A and B are shown apart, each in its own frame.
Chain A
Amino acid sequence: MQTNLTDHELMLLVAQRDVTAYRELVARYLNFCTRFAERMVGSRHDAEDIAQEACLKIWNEAPRWQPKAKFSTWLYRVMFNSCIDYKRKVIPLPLADESSIMDESLSADELINQEQNSKRVQQALHKLPERQRAAIVLSYYEEFNNQQAAETLDMQLNAFQQLLFRARQNLKSELFQYYVEHKNGQR
């Protein structure tokens, strides 16, 4: 069911235990939640667990919901904090690559190349500190503007811009160094 209700209006209905409103609200944000969590923790299975926990928080917190901030900003923060908590609780396992999307129009060589690049980027992302990783995921993959991403990470705009700059620098040095070494090794 698609409605024209705002997030806030849906949240008020969820507070009255309206399951249809809850389904609608979760459906709006579930894709973001799973994608964000997967890029933060590196596993599809764990990402689904984190997304489920965050979405249950919507249900449980609805009766006390007060629109001090936008619903989306609140949920993004919940997601970020859930990922951080999860990483602290769980011993990191080798990164899984089960969910990376391959472009079917590419040749076999190109597919292999794309898969290798995907793994390499995933590994480089996971070498970044959590906030830097979140900055890249929000800014690049989720296409948040800087202000929105700064609010999600509870930072000032300037601080976020510096964080994003450092994150990109670290990623460049990590990835470019690998490709330089890789090319030298092939010669």
Chain B
Amino acid sequence: MDKDDLKLNALLDNYQVNDADGDLLDRIVNHAKKQPTNVVRLPLRQREPWLKNVALIAATAVLGFWYGNSTIEPVNYRENPSATASQASYSSNLDNELLGPKSYSEVML
């Protein structure tokens, strides 16, 4: 340790602070006693046991809905798309059935 270090230590010695007093210890212990007893945070699965069941039911519902939707045929599903393409230039069969032929020539056809 050189001369400067000793000089620094001598200066540092000037700055002293007091120890804690007894009142502070009492205050801390009293404060701790007033802490809520449920301050210990348990893991989520122990705090909310119902949450697991709700999550399982929700996941099953979502999966069921998705699976159901993916396997049902759409309302406008067509067996043979090429057949409808050929009819596109004419009125649709459904129109003919509901409204009847538009002209005499169609009746002849």
**Complexed CA–CA distance, A172 and B32 (Å):** 42
Instruction: Identify whether the interface residues of B are mostly helix, strand, loop, or mixed.
Output: helix
User: Quick check: which of B2-10, B45-53, B58-66, B98-106 contacts chain A, the rest being far away?
Assistant: B2-10
Chain A residue with the shortest CB-CB distance to B32: A59
Q: How many residues of A contact B (CB 8 A)?
A: 41
Contact B35 A171 (CB under 8 A): no
Q: How many residues of B contact A (CB 8 A)?
A: 26
Contact B24 A100 (CB under 8 A): no
Instruction: Identify whether the interface residues of A are mostly helix, strand, loop, or mixed.
Output: helix
Residue A155 is within 8 A (CB to CB) of chain B in the complex: no
Residue A77 is within 8 A (CB to CB) of chain B in the complex: no
Cross-chain contact of A117 among B14, B20, B25, B32 (Cβ < 8 A):
B14
Given A31-B20, A33-B20, is A63 in contact with B40 using a C-beta cutoff of 8 Å? yes
- Which B residues contact A (CB, under 8 angstroms)? 4-5, 7-9, 11-12, 14-20, 24-25, 27-29, 31-33, 35, 37, 39-40
- Which A residues contact B (CB, under 8 angstroms)? 17, 19, 22-23, 26-27, 30-31, 33-35, 38-39, 44, 48, 51-52, 55-56, 59-60, 63-64, 99-101, 114, 117-118, 120-122, 125, 136, 140-141, 168, 171-172, 175-176
